[in-house]
Amino acid sequence: MLNLENATQRIRDILKSDDDKLIREELNNLHSADLAEIFDHLSSEERIKAFNYLTEECAADLLEELPAQFQVEILEEINEEKAARIILRMPHDSVADVLGDLTDSETEAYLNKLPARVSSQIRELLSYKEDTAGGIMNSEVITVEKDMTVEEALSYIRIKAETDKIDLYYVYVVDKFNHLCGVLSLRELITSPQYIKIEDIMITDIFKVNVDDDQEIVADTLMKYGFLAIPVVDHYGKLKGIVTWDDAQEISEEETTEEIYASSGISTDIIDEDEILSGHMFNAIRARLPWLFITLIGEFFAVNVAHHFDTTLHAIPIIAIFMPLLAGLGGNIGTQSITLMVRGLSTGQVNMSTAFHHIFRELRIGLFIGILFGLMVAVFTWNWQNSVVLGSVVGLAMAINMTLATVIGTVTPFILKKLKIDPAVASGPVIATTIDVLGLAVYFTLVTYSLHYLL
C-alpha cells in the first residue's frame, strides 16, 4: 500500500537532485494509479518535469488516470510529436476523453498527427455525445466473420491480438458488412472442434446497446447481468465498439458523485467535477452560487413568515428559541427521506409505479418519529419552562413538522422525475427552504391560536 505523503516527498526530493537515471527508475517503476495520486500533490512545474521522464508506455497509462485539467495542462506543455506518440498507445475511448477536453484547434492538431485509421475512429467517437454509449465505448474490438471455421477464427484472433494489443473479453461475430450477428465466449471457441463454422456455435440472442443510449442504461445493463463487456451498435445494427465493465464502474462512480454534489446544491452542469475540488477558485464559486441564490430567495419567504407573526413574537419572545430546533430536526428527517428516494430511483429499487407505496410508507414512518420526538420535546419544554401549554404547542409543532418534512422529502423526487428533472437537485436546497417556510408557518400558527393560554 502506497504511503502517499512519503512517496510524494520522495519524488520531490529526486526531482530536485537532477539525477536523470534515478528519476527515470523511480518514476517508471511506480504503478500508474499510484503515480496519479502523487501527481495530484505536486506543483504544475513538478508534474511537467516528472512526466517528461516517463517512458511513452508509462506516460500513456498515467494520462488515463489523471483528471482532465492535469491532462490538458501536460499536453499543452510537452512536445506535440511526443504527445501524439503517447496518445497512440492509449485505448481509443480514453484518447477521445482526453482530446475532448482540449480546444478544437489543439484536438485537430493531435488528430492530424495520428495514423489515418486511428484518427478516423477517434473522430467518430468524438462525434457522439459524451454521456452516451457511443461517447464512452472503445472502438477497438476483435471480430470474426460468421462463415469462418473455429481454426480460422483462432488464427485470426491470435494475429490481431498480438499486433493491436486489444483487450479480449468476448469474440463478436459479424457479417461482411459488419452487422452484429452473434457472440462467443473464448471458452466456447477454444473447446469447439476446429472444423466447425462460427455461425453454428455462436449465440444469436445478444445483449446490446445503441450508440445513442444513455451511459447510465449501459452501466446498469453491464452491472445487472455481470457482463465483462457489452457491444454497441448503430441504428443499422453495425458493430461500432464495446463498453467494458471498468467503464461501467467509472460511470457508476461518476453518477454517484454527481448525485452527492447535486444534493448539496453544487452544480456539475456548468463546471466539471474535477474543477470543483482542485481547479481554479472562481470555478468552485460558480458551481456553488446558483442553488445558494435560490435558497436565499426561499429563505426570504421564511423571514416573511416570521415577520407576519411579529406580534406573536413580541408577546412571547421565548418561542423564538425553539425555531432552530424545529428547523434542524425537520430538515434532517426530510433529507433522510429524499436521500432514500433519490438513491432508490437511481438504482432501480424505487420506480414511479411504486411511488404511492413509498409515499405512504414514509408518511407512517415520519408520523411515528414525529410523535416520538414531539413527546420528548413537549416533556422537556414543560419541565424547563414550567408550562404545559408551551410544551404541548412545541411538541405538536415538532410532530407536524417532522411528518410534513418526511412527506415532502419523499414526494419531491417523484415530482421532479415526472418533470424529467434530476431528483438529486432537490435534496439540499428544496428541502431546506420548503421545510423552513412550512415549519415556521405551522409553529407560529399553533402559538398564535394558543396565545390566550400562554400569556
> What tens digit of pLDDT does each residue of 391-400 get?
999 999 999 9
Whether the per-residue pLDDT at 81 is higher than 80: the answer is yes
Query: What residues does 197 pair with on adjacent strands?
Result: 149
Could you tell me which of 54, 64, 71 has the C-alpha nearest to residue 92? 64
pLDDT band, residue 165 (cuts 50/70/90): low
Structural domain boundaries in the chain? 4-127, 143-244, 273-454
Cell numbers describing residue 395: 411538541
Q: What percent of the chain has pLDDT over 90?
A: 20
pLDDT tens across 169-201, in order? 889 999 989 999 999 988 888 899 999 999 999
Q: How much is the pLDDT for 351?
A: 83
Between strands 239-244 and 229-233, the pairing is antiparallel
**What is residue 378's predicted lDDT score, i.e. its pLDDT?**
93
The pLDDT value given to residue 295: 74
- In 10 A of CB 388, how many CB atoms? 12
The larger pLDDT score, comparing residue 117 to residue 356, is at: 356
**pLDDT band at 163, cuts 50/70/90?**
low
| Structure confidence by residue, pLDDT tens digits, 410-420 | 988 888 888 87
Contacts of 373 (CB under 8 A, 6+ apart): 329, 398, 399, 402
Q: How far apart are CA 105 and CA 446, in angstroms?
A: 65
How many CB atoms are located within 10 Å of the residue 105 CB?
A: 7
Instruction: Give the pLDDT mean for 2-26.
Output: 84
Q: Where residue 372 falls among pLDDT bands split at 50, 70, 90?
A: very high
Q: Could you identify the residue written with the cell 450477428?
A: 181
The structural architecture, per CATH, of the domain 273-454 is Orthogonal Bundle (1.10)
User: What does the H/E/C string look like for 57-78?
Assistant: HHHHHHHHHCCHHHHHHHHHHC
pLDDT for residue 275: 63
Distance CA 380, CA 312 (A): 22
Residue 44 to residue 56: CA distance in whole angstroms: 20
Q: Is 293 exposed, middle or buried (0-12, 13-18, 19+ CB in 10 A)?
A: exposed
According to the model, what pLDDT value does residue 164 have? 64
List Cα–Cα distances, 110 to 94, 107, 124, in angstroms.
14, 5, 15
pLDDT at 64: 87
Cα of first residue to Cα of last residue in the chain, in angstroms, is 67
Strands across the sheet with 229-233, in order?
209-210, 229-233, 239-244
Q: What is the pLDDT of residue 320?
A: 83
pLDDT at 270 over 80: no
Q: Is the pLDDT of residue 273 over 90?
A: no
Domains 4-127 and 143-244 share a fold: no
pLDDT of residue 271: 62
- Residue pLDDT, tens place only, 418-443: 887 777 665 666 677 788 888 888 88
For range 110-120, the mean pLDDT: 83
CATH topology of domain 4-127: MgtE N-terminal fold (1.25.60)
Write phi, then psi, for 235 (nearest 5 degrees): -70, -10
Q: Does 283 have pLDDT greater than 80?
A: no
Q: What is the pLDDT of residue 212?
A: 93
Residue 182, CA distances (Å) to 202, 225, 230 in order = 6, 17, 12
Length of the chain (residues): 455
Residue whose entry in the numeric block shows the C-alpha cell 407505496: 357
For all residues of the chain together, what is the average pLDDT? 84
CATH code linked to domain 143-244:
3.10.580.10
173 backbone dihedrals φ, ψ, rounded to 5°: -105, 130
What is the reported pLDDT for 96? 84
Predicted confidence at residue 173, as pLDDT, reads: 93
Cβ(248)–Cβ(218) under 8 Å? yes
pLDDT for 2 = 66
pLDDT band at 210 (very low <50, low <70, confident <90, very high): very high
Does 266 or 294 have the greater pLDDT score?
A: 294
